[in-house]
Amino acid sequence: MIEATLARMQAARGKPSSRWLAWLGPAIGPEAFEVGAEVREAFLAQARAGEHAAVDAAFRPGAEGKYMADIYALARTRLARAGCTDVYGGDACTVSDPQRFYSYRRDGVTGRMASLVWLAS
């Protein structure tokens, strides 16, 4: 998804990804995002040369064969692959901050959040 979005933005604006700025907004944090081994293996299988250590470091062992995943680190790796290294944010966990964010995993109740994305001139 990240690579496809950057490719479309580059096609629309004619600027290489190295000239883009990325902001990683609120998401489930690495202390709360539990995934199965198949998710870790899928990311490792898709990792390119030079990315394996970073991708592997984004997963730490959890309970009963599960892993705790750092989706911010994984997103940074994918952004860097596409040439975008000017990346900010990635420190707001929706699960651990109930005062500011909705989280179905935390509350078991649905809610809504919105993000704004735009291309500046």
User: At 34, is the secondary structure helix, strand, or coil?
Assistant: strand
State the average pLDDT for the chain: 91
Strands 34-35 and 67-69: antiparallel
User: How confident is the model at residue 24, as a pLDDT?
Assistant: 95
- Regarding predicted confidence, which is higher, 2 or 79? 79
Q: What is the DSSP letter of 108?
A: S
- Could you report the per-residue pLDDT of 12-62, keeping only the tens digit for each? 888 877 788 899 999 999 999 999 999 999 999 999 999 999 999 999 999
Residues 89 and 34: their CA atoms lie apart, in Å, by 21
Residue type, 1: M
Structural domains in the chain, CATH included, are: 2-107 (3.60.140.10)
In Å, how far are 43, 82, 94, 116 from 33, measured between CA atoms?
A: 15, 24, 10, 23
User: How confident is the model at residue 49, as a pLDDT?
Assistant: 92
User: How confident is the model at residue 77, as a pLDDT?
Assistant: 96
User: How confident is the model at residue 61, as a pLDDT?
Assistant: 98
Residues 35 and 64: their CA atoms lie apart, in Å, by 11
Cα–Cα–Cα angle for 8, 52, 26, nearest 5°? Answer: 55
User: How confident is the model at residue 121, as a pLDDT?
Assistant: 67
Residue 65 Rama label (left phi>0; alpha psi -120 to 50; beta): left
Mean pLDDT of 95-108: 91
- Banded model confidence at residue 70, pLDDT cuts 50, 70, 90: very high
User: How confident is the model at residue 9, as a pLDDT?
Assistant: 84
